[in-house]
């Protein structure tokens, strides 16, 4: 690519950025305006035109995947490889620095990075070693505290406790945890950033080396940087006028994890001579999608303010689908994807990779996964585990498996110490050895060892308690329905309490997932052919194992992308579905009372909507069984914030939606057929939850047949006749 080509594909504003003189620069612009593209082109420009060596360039992105993509795009643009250039996440770059300067960073050469689960386990051990009550000082909360302090750049000795005993205990745990890490050569995620920062603070010569080396520093998604990342960047580049950041305050969605939108304005103050350039043309989405998203975000206060327009056609309207429940929602989405596949895929180069289903919480994926499987659509969960692979789900399933089959060694291993029972490695090794020499399973080995009194003292006691727990769980739950059995086991195994004690977003998600497992049991239908052969529990466990083992598309197969809106940041897809737009789901229940959190939810919705290029579906369900309970939610306020001119409503799957103007009684079946089903228009009916109402309308046939009832208390609702259990009055 020659130089003019580098600029040809850009608009004037974008060109200003790409070809700007060396200076500190903020590119502030809305979604899809080409921020990431401009950043890539800028790197190519620096190399091709300014003859900057790749060795002198440092670029920061938000995920490792984005970093890999940026590298390949730059290589494409310059037509060669870019060895020596540093591209990565803040964590990845900090890690590299620490590896290179382990001695200065006072780390052993072979230091290990601790992932979040390992970190939690270590914190737990520390809490116990300090003889603190684990209930009063839950490890998860400690972990949250430690990471929070590290993100702010604080070591234990920097923290002012003001003699507050609680704070003092926190600091004590932080210190003891840090000592344990240092002894073992372990570095957690937050420590990577903090240590890299300290490395430079304590070694000015090293800092100077990197300041001289990196003559160009570029940061994407800047709105989600935290305090320590900002500090690190400041040290590297503040005075030399070489930092270019791109970001969008409207897309700041990690406030809950310490990200600070204010860093954008701080940048303008702190970095010498920083210039702001705004990009205003959106190239991603059709006008309907873009205008609707603009209107939505306009409901937030204190925005830095940006105009965003597109030359694109209006395009199709945004479809808003009101599902009668969550299963209907999932089937609708799968149905629309199948249609799109038949109609558009055949005629173009598009692939299923161009389709994304976005949701607020990971627990929502299960039903969507099921519907996609049924529709034979390959899918991939992006940046997360499939439902049945998640830690808490595997824990709960392991209990059920062991209850079902005592010889399931994998299940035994998984839960023998989950929640912690104080069964040490020595005891476990004894059990494993015994099992091996007797050629029996772990469970049998335990029983034999107890009988022969081969286990002593505390070991004998805790192993016996575990055996009794499993026996008791089986006795107490054997006659329950499957969902009640699962619920009972989750409660009485101690799993729920363990996860409840963890606190924080992640813990909440785990509890949600556990409740969702109960729902999965509730709605699980056995293969009628196999009813005789196996119990419901066995059938369900097989179902879970198969689901987790095989259904995900392999890496190279085109597949529908499933992900949370958080992980969709920066990405784009032709066809996008957002599921679960209901009050209490999205915005989430916890956010509706706090204006700050509500605005962050709205930004998240803005991020979700602006992923769509050609067609956007927004779905909500009138009733939803989630987290083990059936709830009736009203449509999300975000739906109401979208002007009607950009949206159209769809009511029923596989049938033409009725134009609103065609009158009340336009139907797909005859009145006679409908009335044969036992209801008449205008008839009074009683519903268990909604009370009394009057039948207004009907549609669909057979199992699909639905009635619209105007209820005195809750207004008008569409209900499936087969499920609604209406009594004629």
Residue 36 or 286: the one with the smaller Cβ distance to Mg ion is: 36
10 binds ligand ATP (CB under 6 A): yes
- Among 253-261, 411-419, 563-571, 625-633, the segment contacting Mg ion (CB under 5 A): 563-571
Q: Work out whether 315 is an interface residue with ligand ATP (CB under 6 A).
A: no
Restricting to residues 586-645, which ones interact with ligand ATP according to CB under 6 A? 610
Closer residue to ligand ATP, CB minimum distance, 277 or 460? 277
d(CA 707, CA 718): 6
Query: What sections of 325-441 are H helices per DSSP?
Result: 326-340, 365-374, 391-404, 409-415, 425-438
DSSP string, 76-122: HHHTS--TT-EEE-HHHHHHHHHHHTTTTTT--TT-EEE-HHHHHHH
Query: Out of 35, 95, 336, 706, which residue is the one contacting ligand ATP (CB under 6 A)?
Result: 35
Residue 213 designated active-site: no
Residue 188's closest CA among 290, 94, 326, 72? 94
Q: Catalytic: 220?
A: yes
Shortest Å distance, C-beta 365 to ligand ATP: 22
Tokens coding 125: 């051990």
Q: Please pick, from the candidates 188, 224, 248, 326, the single residue that binds ligand ATP as defined by CB under 6 A.
A: 248
Stretch that binds ligand ATP, among 3-11, 223-231, 513-521, 697-705 (CB under 6 A): 3-11
Per CB under 5 A, the segment of 51-59, 131-139, 247-255, 566-574 that binds Mg ion is: 566-574
Closest approach, Cβ 39 to ligand ATP, in A, equals: 8
Nearer to ligand ATP, 42 or 633 (CB): 42
Give the span between the Cα atoms of 590 and 373, in whole angstroms.
32
Residue 34 assigned ligand-binding role = yes
54 binds Mg ion (CB under 5 A): no
Separate counts of helices (H) and strands (E) for the chain:
28, 21
CA distance 321 to 329: 8
Asked whether residue 227 is marked as a ligand-binding residue, the answer is no
Per the annotation, the verdict on 251 as an active-site residue is yes
Among 11, 53, 240, 441, binds ligand ATP (CB under 6 A): 11
Q: Contacting ligand ATP (CB under 6 A), which of 210, 283, 627, 632?
A: 283
Chosen residue from 30, 32, 247, 570 binding Mg ion by CB under 5 A: 570
Candidates 151, 188, 191, 221; catalytic one: 221
Partner in contact with 9, chosen from Mg ion, ligand ATP, none, beta carbon below 5 to 8 Å by kind: ligand ATP
* From 17, 31, 43, 397, residue interacting with ligand ATP (rule: CB under 6 A): 31
Q: How near is the Cβ of 431 to ligand ATP at its closest, in Å?
A: 53
Q: Which listed option, ligand ATP, Mg ion, none, makes contact with residue 283 (CB within 5 to 8 Å by class)?
A: ligand ATP
Identify the CA nearest to 603 among candidates 634, 575, 560, 568.
568
Give catalytic status of residue 611 as yes or no: yes
Q: Which of 188, 220, 312, 614 is catalytic?
A: 220
What whole-number distance in Å separates Cα of residue 642 and Cα of residue 318? 10
Strands 355-359 and 243-247: unpaired
Residue 247 in the binding site for Mg ion (CB under 5 A)? no
197: nearest Cα among 240, 156, 154, 241:
154
- Segment (H or E) for 213: helix 204-213
Of 18, 28, 33, 442, the residue at the interface with ligand ATP (CB under 6 A) is 33
Q: Which residues of 407-435 are buried (b: 16+ CB within 10 A; e: fewer)?
A: ebeebbebbbbbeebebeeebbebbeebb
240 part of the active site: no
- Which tokens go with 85? 């250039």
Long-range contacts of 404-413 (CB under 8 A, 24+ apart): 404/535, 404/537, 404/538, 404/541, 406/441, 406/443, 406/444, 406/470, 407/441, 407/443, 407/444, 408/441, 409/435, 409/441, 409/442, 409/443, 412/441, 412/442, 412/443, 413/442
Q: Is 322 annotated as a binding residue?
A: no
User: Contacts with ligand ATP: how many residues (CB under 6 A)?
Assistant: 19
Is 33 annotated as belonging to a binding site?
Answer: yes
Q: Smallest distance, Å, CB 361 to ligand ATP?
A: 21
- 169 as an active site residue: the answer is no
Nearest Cα neighbor of 552 from 373, 712, 404, 418 is 373
Distance CA 98, CA 109 (A): 9
Instruction: Give dist(CA 468, CA 85) in Å, integer.
Output: 59
Q: Find the binder of Mg ion among 36, 552, 567, 636 (CB under 5 A).
A: 36
Annotated binding-site positions: 29-36
Q: Which residues sit at the interface with ligand ATP, rule CB under 6 A?
A: 9-11, 14, 29, 31-37, 248, 251, 283-284, 570, 572, 610
Q: Which residues sit at the interface with Mg ion, rule CB under 5 A?
A: 35-36, 570
Annotated binding-site positions for ATP: 29-36
Q: Which residues does the annotation mark as catalytic? A: 35-36, 220-221, 251, 611
């Amino acid at each position: 690519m020659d130089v003019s080509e580098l600029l040809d594909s850009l608009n004037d504003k974008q060109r200003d950025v790409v070809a700007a003189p060396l200076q500190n620069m903020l590119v502030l612009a809305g979604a899809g305006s080409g921020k990431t593209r401009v950043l890539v082109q800028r790197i190519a420009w620096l190399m091709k035109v300014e003859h900057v060596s790749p060795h002198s360039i440092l670029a920061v992105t938000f995920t490792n995947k984005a970093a890999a993509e940026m590298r390949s795009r730059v290589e494409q643009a310059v037509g060669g490889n870019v060895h020596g250039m540093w591209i990565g996440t803040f964590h990845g770059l900090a890690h590299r620095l620490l590896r290179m300067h382990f001695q200065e960073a006072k780390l052993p050469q072979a230091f290990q990075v601790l992932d979040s689960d390992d970190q939690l386990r270590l914190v737990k051990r520390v809490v116990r070693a300090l003889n603190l009550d684990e209930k009063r000082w839950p490890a998860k909360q400690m972990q949250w505290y430690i990471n929070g302090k590290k993100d702010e750049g604080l070591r234990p000795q920097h923290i002012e406790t003001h003699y507050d005993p609680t704070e003092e205990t926190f600091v004590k745990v932080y210190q003891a945890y840090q000592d344990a890490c240092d002894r073992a050569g372990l570095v957690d995620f937050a420590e990577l950033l903090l240590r890299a920062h300290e490395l430079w603070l304590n070694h000015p010569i090293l800092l100077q080396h990197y300041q001289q080396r990196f003559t160009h520093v570029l940061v994407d998604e800047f709105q989600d940087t935290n305090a320590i990342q900002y500090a690190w960047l400041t040290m590297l580049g503040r005075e030399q006028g070489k930092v270019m950041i791109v970001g969008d305050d409207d897309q700041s969605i990690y406030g809950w994890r310490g990200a600070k939108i204010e860093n954008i304005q701080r940048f303008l103050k702190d970095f010498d001579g920083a210039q702001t350039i705004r990009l205003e043309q959106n190239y991603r989405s059709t006008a309907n999608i873009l205008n609707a998203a603009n209107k939505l975000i306009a409901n937030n206060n204190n925005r830095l303010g940006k105009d965003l327009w597109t030359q694109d056609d209006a395009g199709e309207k945004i479809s808003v689908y009101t599902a009668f429940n969550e299963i209907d929602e999932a089937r609708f989405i799968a149905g629309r994807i199948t249609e799109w596949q038949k109609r558009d895929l055949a005629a173009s180069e598009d692939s299923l990779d161009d389709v994304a289903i976005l949701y607020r919480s990971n627990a929502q994926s299960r039903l969507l996964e099921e519907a996609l499987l049924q529709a034979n659509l390959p899918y991939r969960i992006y940046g997360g585990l499939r439902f049945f692979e998640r830690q808490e789900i595997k824990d709960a399933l392991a209990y059920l498996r062991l209850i079902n089959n005592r010889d399931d060694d994998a299940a035994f291993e998984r839960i023998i110490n989950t929640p912690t029972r104080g069964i040490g490695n020595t005891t476990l090794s004894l059990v494993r050895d015994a099992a091996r020499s007797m050629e029996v399973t772990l469970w049998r080995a335990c029983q034999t060892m107890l009988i022969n009194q081969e286990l002593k003292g505390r070991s004998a006691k805790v192993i016996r308690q575990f055996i009794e727990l499993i026996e008791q769980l089986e006795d107490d739950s054997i006659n329950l329905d499957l969902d009640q059995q699962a619920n009972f086991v989750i409660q009485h195994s101690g799993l729920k309490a363990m996860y409840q004690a963890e606190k924080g977003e992640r813990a909440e998600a785990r509890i949600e997932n556990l409740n969702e497992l109960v729902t999965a049991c509730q709605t699980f239908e056995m293969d009628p052919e196999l009813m005789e052969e196996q119990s419901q529990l066995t059938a369900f466990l097989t179902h879970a194992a198969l689901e987790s083992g095989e259904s995900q598309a392999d890496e190279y197969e085109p597949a529908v992308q499933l992900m949370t809106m958080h992980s969709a940041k920066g990405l784009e897809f032709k066809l996008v579905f957002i599921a679960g737009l209901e009050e209490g789901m999205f915005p989430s229940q916890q956010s509706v009372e706090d204006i700050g959190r509500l605005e962050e939810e709205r930004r998240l919705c803005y991020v979700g909507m602006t992923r769509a290029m050609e067609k956007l579906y927004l779905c909500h369900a009138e009733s939803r069984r989630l987290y083990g309970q059936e709830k009736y939610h009203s449509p999300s306020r975000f739906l109401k914030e979208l002007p009607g001119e950009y949206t159209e409503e769809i009511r029923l799957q596989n049938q033409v939606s009725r134009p609103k103007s065609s009158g009340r009684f336009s139907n797909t079946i005859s009145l006679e057929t409908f009335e044969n089903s036992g209801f008449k228009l205008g008839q009074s009916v009683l519903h268990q939850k909604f009370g009394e109402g009057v039948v207004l309308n009907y549609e669909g046939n057979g199992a699909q047949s639905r009635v619209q009832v105007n209820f005195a208390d809750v207004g008008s609702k569409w209900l499936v006749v087969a499920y609604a259990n209406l009594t004629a009055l």
